[in-house]
A = this chain, B = another copy of it.
Amino acid sequence: MLFDDLKSANADVWRAYTHHAFVEGMADGSLEEASFRHYLVQDYLFLIHFARAYALAIYKSRTLDEMRAGLDGVKAILDVEMGLHVQLCGQWGLTPEDIEGAPESRATLAYTRYVLETGLRGDLLDLHVALSPCVIGYAEIAERIAGPTGRTNDGNPYGIWINEYAGEAYQSLAADARTKLDTLAGGPVSSTRFDDLSRVFSQATRLEADFWQMGLDCAD
């Protein structure tokens, strides 16, 4: 699969992202709450731009099926995930005002604009490769740290997050996203094309690691 090739070609940066200290802190519950709260707020702002990225995917589509897939992405974010996010934030003592009024951190801005600009410069495959470290990476991270039995009752304060992304619904969504990359590629890609996509994948993965770091540091 194209995704596996991209991961292999960027093994170090992928590991730095998927095994980031923020992730390990969620895994063993040692992550500072302030870091998680900071992350949650920025993740809300991030979602807004991810909805814009899926809207761009609709615009860039060449078939009705691709358009409907993009629409599912926008709906999932604007109609469902943002509401859930506000709820989750509430459980951590954050009001809607805390979230909506928060200034966008550098890491949020850098990653989201990189994804969007990559999608505008290139084609639909470029856009989905730029989205893949987030969409597919979260599934991989959560599955690993959930372990074979999940986190449902282990008292880890980050269990909700882990179980959400380790759950069947999200794992299935991520599996679809992997398949989609191959569908969009329409067959093996040339080495020039692979190098271009690998550069996009590498940058996007690095920017995702920066996003964890921003959470850890409560950085603006």
Chain B residues near A207 (CB-CB < 8 A): 106, 109
Judged by a CB distance under 8 angstroms, whether A61 is at the interface is yes
Q: State the 5 A-B residue pairs at the shortest beta-carbon distance, nearest first.
A: A186-B192, A55-B58, A187-B190, A110-B110, A186-B190
Shortest Cβ distance from residue A67 to the other chain B in the assembled complex, whole angstroms: 6
Binding site for B on A (CB under 8 A): 48, 51-52, 55-56, 58-62, 64, 67-68, 70-71, 74-75, 78-79, 104, 106, 109-110, 113-114, 116-117, 120-123, 126, 185-188, 190-193, 196, 203, 206-207, 210
Q: How many copies does the complex hold?
A: 4
Among residues of B, the one whose C-beta sits closest to the C-beta of A57 is B55
Q: Knowing A59-B56, A74-B58, A109-B114 touch, does A123 contact B120 (C-beta < 8 A)? A: no
Instruction: Check if A191 sits within 8 Å of B196, measured CB to CB.
Output: no
Min CB distance, A150 to chain B, in Å? 33
